[in-house]
Amino acid sequence: MLNGIIPLFKERGMTSFDCVRKLRGILKMKKIGHSGTLDPNVDGVLPICLGNGTKVVDYLMNSGKIYRGSITLGFSTTTEDLDGEVVDQKELVSPLTDDQINQVLQEFVQKELIQIPPIYSAVKVNGKRLYEYAREGLPVERPKRKVRIDYFKQTKPSVYNQDKKQQTIYFEVGCGKGTYVRTLAVDFGKKINMPAVMSDLTRIKSGNFEIENTVTLHQIESAVKENQLSSIIYSIDHALKEFEHFELDEKQWKIVQNGGFLSARVINKNNNYIVLTYGNDVKALYYFDTEKNIYKPEKMFNVN
């Protein structure tokens, strides 16, 4: 079975699960998952986890994401992007200056921003996804969530459409997991009392993979045919770079193989988590039990 991570370039018009489904056919394996859903009209980096790689999905998601896109002021939609029906329109008689735009963008930059996810999203409330409530016309209270915005900046001068009285702002945002960029666009408009929509979006970094590292479904298919698949699969360790690593000796490896504990004295490290390797191959992630002063298994990857 294949184990590792493929940084896929998700094309527009596909759901994230469409990509997983297609890859199950291309790679002839079932144990495949992705780290962080991308909407159908959004393209960009979608890390795909294979085999034991599915165990590091959470760590990939925790690494943060970077998006580039645009916000258009002057109208809003049901879905907060261009896929939805227009629900509000208002002419922007005088366009915002760069200084005004930058000032509003800066208001979002904080470690704990409270967001209300879009009604057309996959967030679950009482076992049902929000978009299901929306499609059935049922009322539902959307849960507030804390998200992290590391930076939010313009990437080039905005464009003002004199005829439509609309302004498009081009941005890049670095954020933590669970952030809805669509909602950032809408909330930008709310801060200046204007309807707004996310008019374009590409994820350019996720799970420590940049868009330059990605491969398309077609390229993966070609790699399978040419027996070159190993050249585009990254090790599970890519998701664990932030943790301290410790190389086991043969005796310690036998203990870890059976899910045993290791004393802090043996490891001689002062970390909450530690990646254990044997033969320079990642075998497990252990966590430190402060009460008992030992390291215990958090995730086991390859103990055969």
The H-or-E segment that residue 252 falls in is helix 250-257
CB 72 within 8 A of CB 167: yes
Helix, strand, coil share (%) of the chain residues, nearest 5: 30, 40, 35
- In whole angstroms, give the CA distance from residue 225 to residue 26: 10
Q: At what angle do helices 181-191 and 98-106 cross, to 10 degrees?
A: 120
SS3 of 63-97: the string is: CCEEEEEEEEECEEECCCECCCCEEEECCCCCCCC
The catalytic residue among 18, 39, 43, 200 is 39
For residue 146, list its beta bridge partners: 114
Token output for 135:
């499609």
DSSP string, 137-184: T---PPPPEEEEEEEEEEEEEEEEETTTTEEEEEEEEEE-TT--HHHH
For residue 294, list its beta bridge partners: 263, 289
Token output for 225:
């045919």
* Annotated catalytic residue 88: no
As annotated, the active-site residues are 39
